[in-house]
Amino acid sequence: MTLTLFPDGVENPANLAKLDDAARLLGATCSQQIDGRLIAVENTDRAREIYGRRPLRERATLAVGNERRGLSTRTLARANEILVIPTQSRTVRTLNVAAAAAVAGWYVLRGSGPQARARRPDVRRPALLIVGTDHVEVGSTLRSAAAFGFRDVLLDDRGAGWFEGTGATRREAMAAARRHKNPLRVHRATLADLERFDEVLVALESGKTVPLQQSRLARGRRQLVVVGLRADEVHGLAAADIQVASLELAPVQKPPLRLVASITLAEIARQVGRRRRGPAGTQARPPTFAAAVKLRSPEDVLFVDPSRLLSY
Amino acid sequence: MARSVRTDPRPIRAARRAKFPVVRARRPARGRHHPASASDVRNALKTFGEEIYYGLVSVELVPAPFERTQLPLGRLIGPGRIVLYDQARPPWRLGFELPADERERLLAAGARSDADGVVSWPGDSLRRFMLGYVLAHELGHHVLQHKRRLRGERGARTNEHESYAEAIATKLRARID
Q: What is A139-183 written as a DSSP string? A: HHHHHHHHHTT-SEEEEEESS--TTT--HHHHHHHHHHTTTTT--
Residues 6 or more apart whose CB falls under 8 angstroms from that of A36 comprise A2, A4, A58, A59, A60, A61
Strand pairing of B70-78 and B81-85? antiparallel
Which residue from A149, A156, A152, A150 is spatially nearest to A130, judged by alpha carbons?
Answer: A156
Say if residue A280's pLDDT is above 70: no
B96·A296 Cβ contact <8 A: yes
Domains A3-110 and A117-275 belong to one CATH topology: yes
In which band, very low, low, confident or very high, does the pLDDT at A8 lie, cut at 50, 70 and 90? very high
Between B68, B75, B95, which is nearest A290 by CB?
B75
Each residue of A145-194: pLDDT tens digit? Answer: 999 999 999 999 998 899 988 999 999 999 999 998 899 999 999 988 88
Kindly report, residue by residue over A231-266, the tens digit of the pLDDT: 888 887 766 678 999 999 998 888 999 999 999 999
Give residue B156's pLDDT.
Answer: 79
Q: Which residues contact A185 (CB under 8 A, 6 or more apart)?
A: A151, A152, A153
Nearest chain A residue (CA) to B152: A286
Q: How far is residue A308's CA from residue A107's CA, in Å, rounded to a whole number?
A: 78
Whether A295 sits inside 8 A of B153 (CB atoms) is: no
| H-helix or E-strand spanning residue B22 | strand B22-25
What percent of chain A is modeled with pLDDT above 70? 92
Taking the C-alpha atoms of residue A76 and residue A84, their distance in angstroms, rounded to an integer, is 13
Contact at CB, B94 and A295, closer than 8 angstroms: yes
Whole-angstrom distance, CA of residue B154 vs CA of residue B144: 9
> Would you list which residues of chain B are within 8 Å, Cβ to Cβ, of chain A?
67-79, 94-99, 102, 105-106, 133-134, 137-138, 141, 145, 151-154, 161-162, 165
Looking at CATH, the fold of the domain delimited by A3-110 is given as: Alpha/beta knot (3.40.1280)
Q: Identify the helix (H) or strand (E) that includes residue A203.
A: strand A199-204
Q: How many CB pairs below 8 Å do chains A and B form together?
A: 72
pLDDT score of A303: 60
Q: Give the C-alpha separation, B124 to A94, whole Å.
A: 64
Of A283, A291, A295, the CB nearest to B73: A291
- Blockwise average pLDDT, block size 10, chain B, 177 residues: 69 90 93 94 95 94 85 90 92 79 87 81 92 94 86 78 92 88
A183: left (phi over 0), alpha (psi -120 to 50) or beta: alpha
pLDDT at A299: 62
Contact B75 A288 (CB under 8 A): yes
pLDDT at A311 over 80: no
3-class secondary structure, A5: strand
Q: Best interface-test mutation with A: which of B59, B62, B71, B143 has the largest number of A CBs within 10 A?
A: B71
When pLDDT is averaged across residues A216-223 and rounded to a whole number, the result is 91
pLDDT of residue B114: 76
pLDDT value of position A141 = 96
- Whether the CA torsion A130, A230, A210, A94 is positive or negative: it is positive
Look up the ipTM and state it. 0.76
- What is the residue extent of each domain of chain A? 3-110, 117-275
Report which residue type is found at A141: T
Q: Taking CB atoms and an 8 Å limit, are B98 and A289 in contact across chains?
A: no
pLDDT digits (tens, 9 = 90+) for A98-132: 999 999 999 999 999 999 998 888 889 999 999 99
Mean pLDDT to the nearest integer, A35-43 = 93
Distant-in-sequence, close-in-space partners of A129: CB < 8 Å, separation ≥ 6:
A153, A154, A155, A156, A189, A193, A194, A224, A225, A226, A227
Q: How far is B137 from chain A (nearest CA, A)?
A: 8
Going from the C-alpha of A239 to that of each of A158, A193, A204, A206, A222, the distances in angstroms are 20, 9, 17, 22, 12
Closest CA to B56 of B31, B83, B33: B83
CA distances from A281 to A61, A277, A278, A284 (A): 41, 10, 8, 10
Q: Is the pLDDT of residue A282 over 60?
A: no
Pairing type for strands A223-227 and A127-132 reads parallel
d(CA A174, CA A140): 9
Verify whether the Cβ–Cβ distance A296 to B99 is below 8 Å.
yes
Q: Could you give the CA distance from residue B147 to residue B149 in angstroms, rounded to a whole number?
A: 5
Q: Is A295 on the interface with B (CB under 8 A)?
A: yes
Query: Burial level of A199, CB count in 10 A (0-12/13-18/19+)?
Result: middle
The fold of A117-275 is Alpha/beta knot (3.40.1280)
- The alpha carbon of residue A286 is apart from the nearest alpha carbon of chain B, in Å, by 4
| Minimal C-alpha gap between A119 and chain B (Å) | 16
Contact B102 A290 (CB under 8 A): no
